[in-house]
Structure 1
Amino acid sequence: MAELLTAAQMRALETAEIGSGAVTGLELMERAGRGVVEAVFEEWRDLAAAPHRAVVLCGPGNNGGDGFVVARLLKEWGWAVEVLLYGDSEKLPPDAKVNHERWCARGGTVAAWGDGTVFAPGGDAALLVDALFGTGLGRPVEEFDAFARATQSGHVRVVAVDIPSGLCADSGRYLRRGDAPAAELRADLTVSFHSEKLGHRLAEGPAACGRVMVKDIGLRRAAEGAVRMIDRQAGQAACAREGDHKYTHGHALVLTGGAGRTGAARLAARGALRIGAGLVTLGVPGAAQQEVASQITALMLRRVDDHAALAGLLEDDRLNALCLGPGLGAERARDLVPVACGAPRRAVVLDADALTAFEKEPQSLLGMLHDGCVLTPHAGEFARLFPDIAGQLNAMPTKGPAYSKVDAAREAAKRAGCVVVLKGPDTVIAAPDGRVVVNSAGYERAVPWLATAGTGDVLAGFITGLLARGFTPMEAAESAAWLHVECARRFGPGLIAEDLTETLPGVLRELCG
């Protein structure tokens, strides 16, 4: 799986490489600048075919130094290049200052940018290079509002060095000051070095970055504590092994709500069955038995009216994974969740109503949880269960590094003592031991049509089915989340929740073939 780094982790890698004598800062800056130019020509082949005009905005740090390298290399290609510097050239860091001098020595000129500068790139500029702050930003940049508008005009192609300036590299959120709107610098192409950063994948990152291209600058060390991004391997982990049969794949129990409220649980149960649970039973109150019985075939049905009935059913040790929440109803959730969480040796997925039912007393739910549980909240459910953590996450970010969705999920998992799947286009999955992964549905994996009723219920069912098969909570959540997005990608626009389960066999066939 690919690593997603924080700005601090990236700086630590570069510092360690330089400190070891393996490379100099100047060499890294030269490689970065060359990587940007290579990426531009790879992305836009027409720009490589003939000289054009570029405007390069350089900041006061090493990101600006990368910009000077880009300017020099484009000039060597015959381009007309205009450079604007925000800051004092005499106060540039040593490596950036060297590249400023190299640019000037080759006849390049630098126009100073002051707070009152009005930026309006000429209509013939083919490329705008944002080398302002990159991952080093720690404050809002409202004074670049005119530049931000230029990046959104659509009249010029924009490449960002590291990350669009103004965007926090750790959280993917634009930094703001008070109630003032952020200067939202946006790129068509963002060139990262060594590895993507968390901000490329979280929150506003995908919308701001356009496309992200990673360039190797020769760093050979691994970052400590890096967040992983789920990839195809997580989906392949769901492939059945030769010799498996239904009794080795477990028995999942999905609890439904009352009459007229069983559809969500049936979606979850079918998801559990499709992803490979050996047996799946729906636990149904008497008033809904006829409704459910008329809708199912491969799924089984047992009557579960209340906590006593559930406790009796769970005397069967073969029922090894439970799912509560989809369409369950608050009153029924408060009755059944304590029994489900108290059953020994059972994996438990809690979703939807199983979370919302405890919004007035979240600590009572947290006190029931164990390390075999998986919580699958969307943002609203997360806020009801972890209001203080959600408050930090939703607060306006005024300085970097800003509190991120990774921070929030990690803190919630530690408090709950179990795996937390904080859903969204940037789903973050965290374990209580601090491990975190990101399942990104951005860029080439964007599936906005997944935002429709019932798809979260199917995800809960996918996780439950994998838990029944013996996956650990973290493994089940990772595989299910990746497959959930992949099914949506395979089906395409117009998707409804039922389509996910019907598309899954084709996805698994491709992965397991």
Structure 2
Amino acid sequence: MPGKHGRMHAPALLTPEQMYRADALAVAAGISSLTLMENAGRAVAEEILRRFGARRTLVLCGPGNNGGDGFVVARYLRDWGWPVRVALFGDGARLKGDAAVMAKRWGGPFEAVTTSEGCDLIIDALFGAGLSKPLPDQLVKLIGAVKVPVVAIDIPSGIDGATGAARPVAFDADLTVTFFRKKPGHVLMPGRHCCGKVVVADIGIPDRVLDEIAPLLAENSAPVLPAAAPRQHKYQRGHAVVVSGAAHQTGAARLAAMAALRVGAGLVTIASPKEAMAANAAHLTAIMLAEADDALALGRLLADRRKNAICIGPAAGPGSPTRAKVRAALASGAAVVLDADALTSFAEAPDELFSAIAEYPGRACVMTPHEGEFSRLFSDLSASTDSKCEKALKAAQRSGAFLLVKGPDSVATSPAGKAVVNTNAPPSLATAGSGDVLAGLVTGLLAQGMEPLDAAAAAMWLHGEAARKFGDSGLIAEDLPGLVARVISSGIPENPLL
């Protein structure tokens, strides 16, 4: 069973509702809501000043607190000598609360929101992260006509802060300034793309409010990895097994196996059908090879309890032989990573897979589907309007497995309700075999004793960082395992095994 080595320390993400709670807790602690708004507006104005010279600026204010922040920004920029106009979406006479106070402090005129012409910079203070319904047609048309840089307050208007979805379009911001903590909409697509650079400003909310909120979502960060102890031998670093496909489908398993070895597993064996032994042997050196023609043979191989993590799925071939091997893997007691064909093989009978997972609850199981594979097992969740995090969380709870749902905004989730969103993966990772490497990384980390959610999160981060280290173009999957080793050796903090 996995140990407790290599835990993650990822920064929390707050839903819009949790952010409202953080504001309320700060006010209850004696911080005026007007002070929070003043601090927010000044923080945005200072970030603008750092990046832009004085220019004709249009501040678009909405009728709520996001608009109140915009009035503060307009006041500071005007006082610093900038030419500023304010346009209000709504009736100024109906402004309430802190937004009305800040509109009065602005003291200048405001026009109706009609056009983005006649300015060189737009400050988007229309709606913020609480948007939960489509934008009015008037704003959709305005957004489509914008041709100047945009700075968004909190989140670009049009993006749902809870899901990252566009409703139906959003400003394409150059800079987004948010407060205290990011929201899911800052890290989930397409919201992450629309935000541009995101700055999280401190506006005076004390960190201790997180203790009461207890957020379960986080943004991925550099992991703390298991490290080899001075007297440790290779079996104490874990022995990973990767199941190979047929003779003409062996490359994917070798990619996963090399990734498991490069990420630190002490030994890696490819379990190969007899017909593929020669093809695999011709390519392997440090990776071992064992014949496992069927589920019974795979079960015998895994009877050696030193083999403590297994990956099955990359080019394994969909169908009943793979289903049988999955059941043998799940029954072995080893940590199991289910990828690709291991998932597709259960598309017609997902409950059969979930029941097999449930039979051994003490054994870690991580599923690593891309969105198509996810939809085959969880068609109802895939079709829902929930966020990617919510879909993955519900799938983890239903299946009893940890999930790593791949994509430009990969999400790792646990059956206990925790989720981690990865944000460092470049577009170059959209290449054949990349997912096989990712599955191998998870397997190698599980073999070393990492907890499954931590292993999935660490694998996502290493995968993304390896691709970033390579550069913008020309990356192929074969490059990734070696790049992962370079990332690890370049200074990832280590946590020695006890």
TM-score normalised per structure 1: 0.90
1:179 aligns to what?
none
Once residues 76 and 239 of structure 1 are traced to their aligned partners in structure 2, the CA distance between those partners, rounded to angstroms, is 55
- Partners of 2:59 and 2:74 within 8 A in 1: yes
What amino acid is the match of 2:246?
G
1:503 aligns to what?
483
Once residues 205 and 230 of structure 1 are traced to their aligned partners in structure 2, the CA distance between those partners, rounded to angstroms, is 16
Identity %: 47
Match of 2:288 among 295, 300, 303: 300
1:60-71 → structure 2 map (5 Å cutoff): 60-71=63-74
Give how far 1:451 is off.
0.5
1:284-299 → structure 2 map (5 Å cutoff): 284-299=272-287
Give how far 1:244 is off.
2.6
1:149 aligns to what?
144
Once residues 472 and 99 of structure 1 are traced to their aligned partners in structure 2, the CA distance between those partners, rounded to angstroms, is 49
Question: Which secondary structure does the structure 2 equivalent of 1:374 belong to?
Answer: strand
Give how far 1:88 is off.
1.6
- Partners of 1:56 and 1:131 within 8 A in 2: yes
Question: Which secondary structure does the structure 1 equivalent of 2:268 belong to?
Answer: strand
Q: 1:244 to 1:41 in 2, by over 3 A?
A: farther
Once residues 194 and 155 of structure 2 are traced to their aligned partners in structure 1, the CA distance between those partners, rounded to angstroms, is 9
Match of 1:77 among 75, 80, 93: 80
Instruction: Kindly indicate whether residue 365 of structure 2 is the aligned counterpart of residue 373 of structure 1.
Output: yes
What amino acid is the match of 2:485?
P
1:275 aligns to what?
263
Q: Identify the range of structure 1 (67-76 vs 366-375) with the bigger mean alpha-carbon deviation.
A: 366-375
Give how far 1:242 is off.
3.5
1:76-475 → structure 2 map (5 Å cutoff): 76-104=79-107, 108-113=108-113, 118-122=114-118, 125-141=119-135, 142-151=137-146, 153=147, 156-175=148-167, 182-220=168-206, 221-222=209-210, 223-232=213-222, 234=223, 236-331=224-319, 332-343=321-332, 345-369=333-357, 370=361, 371-392=363-384, 395=385, 403-441=386-424, 446-475=425-454
Once residues 120 and 277 of structure 1 are traced to their aligned partners in structure 2, the CA distance between those partners, rounded to angstroms, is 56
Once residues 132 and 476 of structure 1 are traced to their aligned partners in structure 2, the CA distance between those partners, rounded to angstroms, is 40
- Partners of 1:238 and 1:275 within 8 A in 2: no
Q: 1:431 to 1:186 in 2, by over 3 A?
A: same
Give how far 1:328 is off.
0.2
Q: Identify the range of structure 1 (257-266 vs 219-228) with the bigger mean alpha-carbon deviation.
A: 219-228
What amino acid is the match of 1:341?
L
Could you list the structure 1 runs, at least 4 aligned residues long, displaced by more than 2 angstroms after superposition.
238-245
What amino acid is the match of 2:141?
A
- Partners of 1:143 and 1:183 within 8 A in 2: no
Quote the RMSD (CA, aligned, Å): 1.4
1:43 aligns to what?
51
Give how far 1:3 is off.
1.5
Once residues 169 and 406 of structure 2 are traced to their aligned partners in structure 1, the CA distance between those partners, rounded to angstroms, is 27
What amino acid is the match of 1:497?
A
- Partners of 2:13 and 2:215 within 8 A in 1: no
Once residues 62 and 367 of structure 1 are traced to their aligned partners in structure 2, the CA distance between those partners, rounded to angstroms, is 49
Give how far 1:136 is off.
2.3
Question: Which secondary structure does the structure 1 equivalent of 2:234 belong to?
Answer: coil
Give how far 1:479 is off.
1.4
1:476 aligns to what?
455
Question: Which secondary structure does the structure 2 equivalent of 1:196 belong to?
Answer: coil
Once residues 102 and 468 of structure 1 are traced to their aligned partners in structure 2, the CA distance between those partners, rounded to angstroms, is 61
Once residues 243 and 203 of structure 1 are traced to their aligned partners in structure 2, the CA distance between those partners, rounded to angstroms, is 45
- Flag structure 2 segments of 5+ consecutive residues without an equivalent: 1-9, 494-498
- Flag structure 1 segments of 5+ consecutive residues without an equivalent: 176-181, 396-402
- Partners of 1:5 and 1:227 within 8 A in 2: yes
Once residues 303 and 82 of structure 2 are traced to their aligned partners in structure 1, the CA distance between those partners, rounded to angstroms, is 76
Q: Which of the pair has the greater relative contact order for Cα pairs under 8 Å at 6+ separation?
A: 2
Aligned residues: 473
What amino acid is the match of 1:412?
A
Give how far 1:376 is off.
0.3
What amino acid is the match of 1:508?
I
Give how far 1:39 is off.
0.9
Give how far 1:184 is off.
2.5
Once residues 193 and 290 of structure 1 are traced to their aligned partners in structure 2, the CA distance between those partners, rounded to angstroms, is 58
- Partners of 1:63 and 1:131 within 8 A in 2: yes
- Partners of 2:161 and 2:185 within 8 A in 1: yes
TM-score normalised per structure 2: 0.92
